[in-house]
Structure 1
Amino acid sequence: MRTVRLAIGWLAGLALLATLGFVLWASARGTPQDLPWTPLDLGQPAGLFTGRKLTALTEDFAQCRALLDRAGVRYTVLPPRHDGQCGYADGVRFTPGGSRRIGFVPAGLGVACPVAAALSMWEWDVVQPAAQAQFGARVASIDHFGSYNCRRIYGRDAGTWSEHATADAVDIAGFRLTDGRRITVARDWQGDGPKARFLHAVRDGACQLFATTLSPDYNAAHADHLHLDQANRGMGGWRACR
């Protein structure tokens, strides 16, 4: 028993040292987004806990709106929607202007506020830098397959409800550049050219901001789009990136 108590004591001590080391490292690095207790700021680069903080906004619509306002994102609040087991009370629709420049095709995309917050950071920190790196151009608009859809996962008759059923997901089909070029997930995911590198880069960047990021690497059902969602599994919950 004494040996067991000593082992537990050593483990507790190591855990404490690891925690202190992590705090000192994050403080020295100067990125509050790496710490779980610091406030979220959409204008700061993504850190270790940014994705979890974005997902936590599913429980705080007022805070989510405040963050969008502070970041200069223009939007309108959508009326609450209730369709049996489906619906939302935190929907927003981007409007032109502000610090957000990318449009969505088709226009009028409505999403849950935490998805809007993550999409904004994705544009600023991931999508535009990747486009500049691969093409020397900016993204003008994003093609999508929609957000809200009252259905279960994979459209089954029973089982878990999809995050689309609460507008906490969006499916991204492709991108249109300011110089007229188009990149689509269905056509350009494979290979090692600039378009494929761009798509993989924006997928990888989305993994830092969304609770779930699924691409053609996951399964055939995602062969033509990137599925991005903010499934709230708690601060310690699992996250999916494939």
Structure 2
Amino acid sequence: MNRTITTMALSVFLLTGAALPPTGPVPDQRPEENKSGGAATQANDKPDKPEKPEKPSTAPNGPEQSKTTPSSEQPPIPPVAPTPLPSPAESPVNGKQPEQTPSEPAEAPPPPIMTEDPAAYSQCLKDLTAAGVTFVEKPRIDDGDGCGIDKPVEVSSILPGVALSPKATLRCEAALELSKWVQTSVLPAAEQALQDKGKLTSVNQASSYICRKRNSKTTGKISEHARGNAIDIASLGFEKGTVDMTIAEEKNPTMSGAFQRTLNASACLYFTTVLAPGSDETHMDHMHLDLIRRNNDARYCRDPKE
């Protein structure tokens, strides 16, 4: 028993001598709830350091941004004006641009006034004089639009005793061919067919030089009258009357008909164009004679319409 008491006394002594340390371990704090109601971050889980705010950037031509654009939002896209669609006239077809409507071709300019060869002109004047033609040389004519005569002559009589009425302004070559035709064809035919009319006294013309287009139209080619190359014969004057240029069909059995047909045919020996009376609507009462130049000296002789 004594042993038991000793053991208990020793135990009390040991317990009494063992003092508590001045400080003890600090217990873990109780987790606190965050203000939003979620769990607080544990002490051993340190929160990530907050990202440093980006420096405010200045947009081109715009105000400075005060905040960094949140990563969850895209920056606003400025509106883009729609590209206008081309009109049907401008739209390409099969990769090609539409063809432009061609403009109407411009009317070809008239050829320049024919320049006379000095040697040929000098010889022509000599031939006119030899034939007994009465004429006067005139100054150069240039009326524009291709109308004119380089060296015109004004003829008052086509043969001795045979007037050209009224006076005609022509190129020398046209005057010479007219004189030859009257001398070699008109006079002999009149002596055979019109003996009762007496001698030929005049060749009556309706048109010589005049600035105009063919058949006096507003468009088309220039007339040979505008070059001094043409003359219109309206009638022939005789001592005993006047004989008009008339329409003479082939079936006309009279001597006057034969005379007119002789004039129509023989004129083609001297002129490159002969339009007999009645050959078309604009040549019903006169003969048209001209010296237009064609390839191979081709002739165009038109009789009355049947």
TM-score band, normalised by shorter chain: 0.5 to 0.7
Give the match for residue 229 of structure 2: 168
Structure 1 residue 239, shift from structure 2 partner: 1.2
Give the match for residue 24 of structure 2: none
What SS does the aligned partner of 1:220 have? coil
What are structure 1's unaligned runs of at least 5 residues?
1-56
Query: Of the candidates 138, 141, 153, which is equivalent to residue 202 of structure 2?
Result: 141
Deviations 1:156-191 (A, max 9, x none): 22221110001110000111112x2221124x6453
Q: Is the 8 Å Cα contact of residues 87 and 166 (structure 1) preserved in structure 2?
A: yes
* In structure 1, C-alpha distance between the alignment counterparts of 2:210 and 2:202, rounded to whole Å: 22
Query: Of the candidates 149, 173, 177, which is equivalent to residue 118 of structure 1?
Result: 177
What are structure 2's unaligned runs of at least 5 residues?
1-114
In the alignment, does 2:188 pair up with 1:90? no
* In structure 2, C-alpha distance between the alignment counterparts of 1:99 and 1:237, rounded to whole Å: 26
Distance 1:210 1:175, change over 3 A: same
Deviations 1:102-130 (A, max 9, x none): 1122x322211111111111111011101
In the alignment, does 2:101 pair up with 1:80? no
Q: Is the 8 Å Cα contact of residues 213 and 221 (structure 2) preserved in structure 1?
A: yes
What SS does the aligned partner of 1:222 have? coil
Letter in 1 for 2:154: R
In the alignment, does 2:305 pair up with 1:240? no
Q: Is the 8 Å Cα contact of residues 276 and 288 (structure 2) preserved in structure 1?
A: yes
Distance 1:125 1:181, change over 3 A: same
The two structures, once aligned, show a CA RMSD in angstroms of: 2.3
* In structure 1, C-alpha distance between the alignment counterparts of 2:241 and 2:131, rounded to whole Å: 29
* In structure 2, C-alpha distance between the alignment counterparts of 1:219 and 1:194, rounded to whole Å: 24
* In structure 2, C-alpha distance between the alignment counterparts of 1:232 and 1:90, rounded to whole Å: 18
* In structure 1, C-alpha distance between the alignment counterparts of 2:214 and 2:300, rounded to whole Å: 15
Give the match for residue 258 of structure 2: 197
Give the match for residue 160 of structure 2: 100
Give the match for residue 185 of structure 1: 245
Percent of pairs identical after alignment? 29
1:44-63 equivalences in 2 (<5 Å): 59=117, 60-63=120-123
Distance 1:220 1:95, change over 3 A: closer
Q: TM-score, normalised by structure 2?
A: 0.55
Q: Which has the higher helix share?
A: 1
Q: TM-score, normalised by structure 1?
A: 0.68
Letter in 1 for 2:263: V
Distance 1:114 1:95, change over 3 A: same
Query: Of the candidates 157, 163, 182, which is equivalent to residue 218 of structure 2?
Result: 157
* In structure 2, C-alpha distance between the alignment counterparts of 1:164 and 1:95, rounded to whole Å: 18
Q: Is the 8 Å Cα contact of residues 183 and 195 (structure 1) preserved in structure 2?
A: no
Q: Is the 8 Å Cα contact of residues 58 and 232 (structure 1) preserved in structure 2?
A: no
* In structure 1, C-alpha distance between the alignment counterparts of 2:215 and 2:156, rounded to whole Å: 30
Structure 1 residue 95, shift from structure 2 partner: 4.2
Distance 1:99 1:226, change over 3 A: closer
Distance 1:140 1:213, change over 3 A: same
* In structure 2, C-alpha distance between the alignment counterparts of 1:95 and 1:217, rounded to whole Å: 28
